[in-house]
Amino acid sequence: MFRISKEFHFSASHQLKGLPEDHPCARLHGHNYIVVVELESEALNHVGFVRDYRELGPLKSYIDDELDHRHLNDVLGDDQVTAELMAKHLYDWCKAIWPETSAVRISETPKTWAEYRP
């Protein structure tokens, strides 16, 4: 199995409702997110790629236009915008364009990651 990945960055705010009032994530706050999309294939194309990294440009555009410097609760229309749910949202978005999409990872801090991999 061949596997590639590409990393993207954006900054945004969110708020996790339903947590205890004294929980820091219950307050409006923001992160410098890192998104890693992974694609895999058992075969390579005629050039020797799973997919040309340049073809992933639409994900950068989506992140820049729809997520960067936005309030994610408003963008995604949900009271619970966790890293786990964002990973699933971006996985579904990518899978619809690139069938080779195998996983999406999201980092909110340098030491934390959430992944969606069906």
Assess contact for 11 and 69: CB atoms under 8 A. yes
Tell me if residue 31 is catalytic: no
Active-site hit among 25, 31, 40, 115: 25
Active-site hit among 14, 38, 89, 108: 108
Tell me if residue 69 is catalytic: yes
Which residues share a beta bridge with 104? 37, 116
DSSP tally for the chain: helices H, then strands E: 3, 4
Which residues share a beta bridge with 31? 12
Active-site hit among 9, 23, 29, 69: 69
Assess contact for 41 and 50: CB atoms under 8 A. yes
Tell me if residue 108 is catalytic: yes
Annotated catalytic sites, by residue? 25, 69, 108
